[in-house]
Amino acid sequence: MPAKTDHDKSKPEEAPHYLGHRERLRERFYSAGADALSDYELLEMALFSALPRRDTKPLAKSLIKIFGSFAEVVHAPVARLREVDGVGESAIHQLKLLAAAAHRVAKGGVNSRNALSSWNEVIDYCRTSMAFADKEQFRLLFLDKRNQLIADEVQQTGTVDHTPVYPREVIKRALELSATALILVHNHPTISIRSCWITLDPSETPIKIVHFRHCALGGRYGKLGALEG
């Protein structure tokens, strides 16, 4: 009769400790909702599928410490994410997918409402699209007479503190789309989002601006005020 080997005596391998933690986190997410989770816990869950054989908690905490919040992590530049120890291409892909999904959801919400009817809606929409961009953008939102969104376009992308603007091209595009109002949005990557609302009268030659409103955000979250003229 053959002697028993060490392999025969060995016990079945125990499941990794983080599997139980993942299950408990999922249960809390579904029973109490996303608001019951901190940013790093939500980020942990977001990384589950990208890192199926790793404990994602230390990496999630590290990312939040470096970038500041869940939103800032998913919108962080790819080059900076690659600098973080433990972040590979699968994790970056997952994070960028989340950022794209957030933008698509915001855009879909506007389309379903068919209108940008308040400044808060404008700011929320623009923040989702560009608040965490690492370069300055000059974005144009073209509206019809009922404030329905016709098109959302980035006309120019500049550097970290500068982007060019070409008024002729702005007006030309507005006429092509038969827009009666424009929202011009300009961000400062480290300071703020600034936007202004311009109403056009295309019957006038040259084009006449019949209404102008400017709104400035201090930092990424604080509204400083608005100016009408």
Q: Which residues does 85 contact at the CB level (< 8 Å), separation at least 6?
A: 62
Query: What is residue 151's DSSP assignment?
Result: E
Q: Return the pLDDT at 218.
A: 36
Helices (H), the chain: 6-9, 17-32, 39-47, 57-67, 70-74, 78-82, 89-113, 119-130, 167-176
Residue pLDDT, tens place only, 42-75: 999 999 989 988 899 999 999 999 999 998 899 8
Please tell me the pTM assigned to this model.
0.52
- Name which residue leads in pLDDT, 222 or 114: 114
pLDDT at 21 over 60: yes
Other Cβ atoms closer than 10 A to 213: 15
